[in-house]
Amino acid sequence: MHSDTGDLYRAFAEREARGNSAIYQDLAEHVAGDDRLRTLLDGLPAAKRQPNLLFGAVRHLGGPVTEGWPAFRDWVAAHWAEASATMLERRTQTNEAGRCATLLPLLAALPQPLALIEVGASAGLCLYPDRYRYRYRHLSADGTGAPATEFGAVTSPVTLDCAVSGPVPLPASLRERLPEVVWRAGIDLNPLDVRAEEDVRWLESLVWPEQTHRLDRLRGAVRVARAEPPLLVRGDLNAAVRELVAQVPAGATPVVFHSAVLAYLPPEAREEFAVTVRELPGHWISNEAVSVLPAVARRLPRPAPAGSGLFALALDERPVAFTGPHGQSLDWFGEA
């Protein structure tokens, strides 16, 4: 007999960690079968038992995640007071600048200049699409590659790699001139501050151990954001989005956008958000797991491959592409 917590860790090992992190897959499988750790986790509210939160907390506190199950189990059991306090205090707020590579073609196609409003912004690293470099590798139908298209902010410490398929609109004008962003702001329940070492360490702790390229990207994006820290408002997206859009400077196109956020909201709150954003001026870009927004899911031209974990990218609820959840791929539908 296994608790729900056991099922949670087993599902994480199978569906999320397998193929992405052998270390987390192994740890999660062991947690699922370990009475002691499951009992400790069951003492937390259900939303605080997540594998990413446990593993992030252990790393944040300097505990061992790469030294095998016995070292991990013994450390967690001995340091449960600190580990559980960190899990209660912190949230899974992975901030992935790589997602800008999938947002960029849509942003570039809107009337310029832009005012960006990101809901669920974490530390705001996706608010700088004009400050990164991009390398799009084109995949043909037979899976072979063509030369990469590379462009972007010349001196950026960050290059975002993205494998593209389908008629993704990467026109010459985009290669010559990135979107012009004249205003950027975000909302988060718990905004992280790129200037605060503890917050940056927490973001680093959330990157999975084998994914060193993501750690490099995160550090580079933090440097970009530190040069001009974003305006981030603390609050619930439904409560704060109208007021933020009202602050957009005249002459700029407001763009409300979000990636990997609405899944955290109950369906009624997602619907409330959709009703609000439909009434706001400007445009709405959503980049979420395929089933999160029913109006987008209904219009998908084809189902996402089973178990792919792909997101649906949509402009004003019209789906345009499937995207890799960390921005690693962009599969454009239909006409460019």
Ligand X SMILES: C[S@@+](CC[C@H](N)C(=O)[O-])C[C@H]1O[C@@H](n2cnc3c(N)ncnc32)[C@H](O)[C@@H]1O
Q: Quick one: 204 or 236, whose CB is closer to ligand X?
A: 236
d(CA 286, CA 295): 11
Q: Which of residues 202-261 bind ligand X (CB under 6 A)?
A: 236-237, 258-261
Q: Quick one: 124 or 319, whose CB is closer to ligand X?
A: 124
Residue from 165, 175, 104 nearest 333 by CA: 165
From residue 253 to residue 272, the character string flagging contacts with ligand X as x (rule: CB under 6 A) and all else as - is -----xxxx--xx-------
Residue from 226, 32, 26, 272 nearest 131 by CA: 226
DSSP 3-state of 22: helix
d(CA 147, CA 247): 42
Residue type, 325: P
Of 51, 63, 105, 120, the residue at the interface with ligand X (CB under 6 A) is 120
Taking the CA of residue 242 as centre, how many other CA atoms within 13 Å lie in the half-sphere pointing to its CB?
A: 9
* Segment interacting with ligand X (CB under 6 A) among 86-94, 137-145, 167-175, 310-318: 86-94
* Segment interacting with ligand X (CB under 6 A) among 62-70, 94-102, 104-112, 313-321: 94-102
* Segment interacting with ligand X (CB under 6 A) among 11-19, 88-96, 132-140, 161-169: 88-96
d(CA 10, CA 3): 11
| Tokens, residue 34 | 């370990």
Q: To the nearest whole angstrom, how small is the minimum distance from the Cβ of residue 184 to ligand X? A: 13
DSSP tag of 92: -
Q: To the nearest whole angstrom, how small is the minimum distance from the Cβ of residue 98 to ligand X? A: 8
Of 52, 93, 253, 329, the residue at the interface with ligand X (CB under 6 A) is 93
Nearest residue to ligand X by CB is: 120
d(CA 76, CA 56): 12
Q: CB under 8 Å to 64, separation ≥6 — which residues?
A: 58, 71, 72, 75
Q: Quick one: 37 or 103, whose CB is closer to ligand X?
A: 103
Could you tell me which residues are beta bridge partners of residue 314? 286, 319
From residue 180 to residue 199, the character string flagging contacts with ligand X as x (rule: CB under 6 A) and all else as - is -------xxxx---------
Q: Quick one: 203 or 320, whose CB is closer to ligand X?
A: 203
* Segment interacting with ligand X (CB under 6 A) among 117-125, 137-145, 157-165, 222-230: 117-125
Tell me which residues touch ligand X (CB under 6 A): 91, 93-96, 99, 119-122, 126, 187-190, 236-237, 258-261, 264-265
